[in-house]
Amino acid sequence: MAQINCTQVSEFILVGRTDRQELNIALFVIFLSTYLFTVVGHLSLMLVIRADARLNTPMYFFLSNLAFVDFCYSSVITPKMLGNSLYKQSVISFNAHAAQLGCFLAFMRAKCLLLASMTYDRYVANCNPLLYMIVMSPRICIQLVAVPYSYSFLVALFHAILTFHLSYCHSNVVNHFYCDDTPLLRLTRSDTRSKQLWIFACAGIMFISSLLVVFVSYMYIISAILRMCSAEGRRKAFSTCGSHMLVVTIFCGTLIFMYLQPSSYHSLDTDKMASGFYTVIIPMLNPLIYSLRNKEVKDALKKAIIYRNQAFVFMKLRK
């Protein structure tokens, strides 16, 4: 087949938002408020875990990393989306588009794998409590965090390279509010079958392996919890594991809906709604889920607020 000569586009135009100005303003206010709450919530959670000695345990080490990943992958998308909503035309350069796609995929995958690591932590805590601090040593905890980060960034880099080595020379209008694979692949005239197969295979392997770890681990966890003699111990264990299971269900359920369905069933309008949910709303929910359902985190937050107020009053009195 003869090669088609064309000039590669240098920028993309994002048209995923609504054309109604009043609705666009309302969405801007909602997303800005949600993002500010997300930033404050995750940074507060990370600072409290780091500052409170009672929270220097493997479980909270994983939780602080989860908060960091949530903060990062929300920050990759939301600020640019908010900035674009202030202009009539949302334009992003080719290189910035590639960087946003790569970072988003990296942090999204890292979160999925971190949730699996957290499940293993809960399995050891409930099924082998006497050996918990030995099994979950600092070295093992670092490995359980480093492997998801490394794997996710390598796979995301390969994804981005494959996507942006395709030919984009006929249209640069992306029907989405951020850089995602599905709407981008509809613009290229190149053969995308290998790329789509790679997306489906990587997503399927990651999701299935992560969910398998979660499912098998929780079968043992629930069995161990039901064997506990103390009702208070069972309540505390179910509360801690319930927060994690709620986060896993919401996040992985949305991603399965997004990425593990055939391309012929994809509706871009439905995808945009689901994307807005897991890029903007879900990161905001996680600090609420873990803080409202966790007594130790709530006590640490109250302690931090009281200490801050006392320090403020002391400084005022000194003046």
Q: What is the predicted pLDDT for the residue at 270?
A: 65
165's CB contacts (< 8 A; 6+ apart) are: none
pLDDT tens track for 199-215 = 777 777 887 888 888 88
- The helix or strand, by DSSP H or E, that contains position 161, with its residue range, turns out to be helix 138-164
Higher pLDDT, 104 or 88: 104
189's CB contacts (< 8 A; 6+ apart) are: 4, 167, 169, 170
pLDDT tens track for 238-287 = 777 777 788 888 777 777 666 655 555 556 666 667 677 777 788 888 77
pLDDT mean over 214-230 = 84
Residue 204: C-alpha distances to residues 153, 210, 249, 255, 266 (Å): 17, 10, 16, 10, 16
Query: What is the fold, at CATH topology level, of the domain defined by 11-318?
Result: Rhopdopsin 7-helix transmembrane proteins (1.20.1070)
- Provide the pairing of β-strand 90-93 with 173-174: unpaired
Determine the Cα–Cα distance for residues 141 and 124; give it in Å rounded to an integer: 12
Q: What is the predicted pLDDT for the residue at 253?
A: 74
**pLDDT over 80 (residue 156):** yes
Q: What is the predicted pLDDT for the residue at 1?
A: 38
Q: Taking all residues of the chain, what is their mean pLDDT, rounded to a whole number?
A: 78
pLDDT tens track for 60-101 = 899 899 999 989 988 888 887 787 777 666 777 878 888 888
Q: What is the predicted pLDDT for the residue at 14?
A: 76
pLDDT tens track for 294-314 = 666 666 666 666 656 555 555
Q: Residue 18, SS3?
A: coil
pLDDT-above-90 percentage for the chain: 9
Least confident of 26-30, 50-54, 83-87, 107-111: 83-87
Inter-helix orientation angle 295-318/21-51, to 10°: 90
Report the greatest alpha carbon distance in the chain.
82
- The strands making up 11-14's β-sheet, listed across from edge to edge, are 90-93, 11-14, 173-174
Determine the Cα–Cα distance for residues 61 and 68; give it in Å rounded to an integer: 11
Total residues found in the chain within this entry: 319
**Residue 2 pLDDT grade (very low, low, confident, very high; cuts 50, 70, 90):** very low
pTM of the model: 0.82
Inter-helix orientation angle 138-164/193-226, to 10°: 160
CB-CB contact of 86 with 47 (8 Å): no
Q: What is the predicted pLDDT for the residue at 302?
A: 67
CB-CB contact of 130 with 148 (8 Å): no
Q: What is the predicted pLDDT for the residue at 264?
A: 55
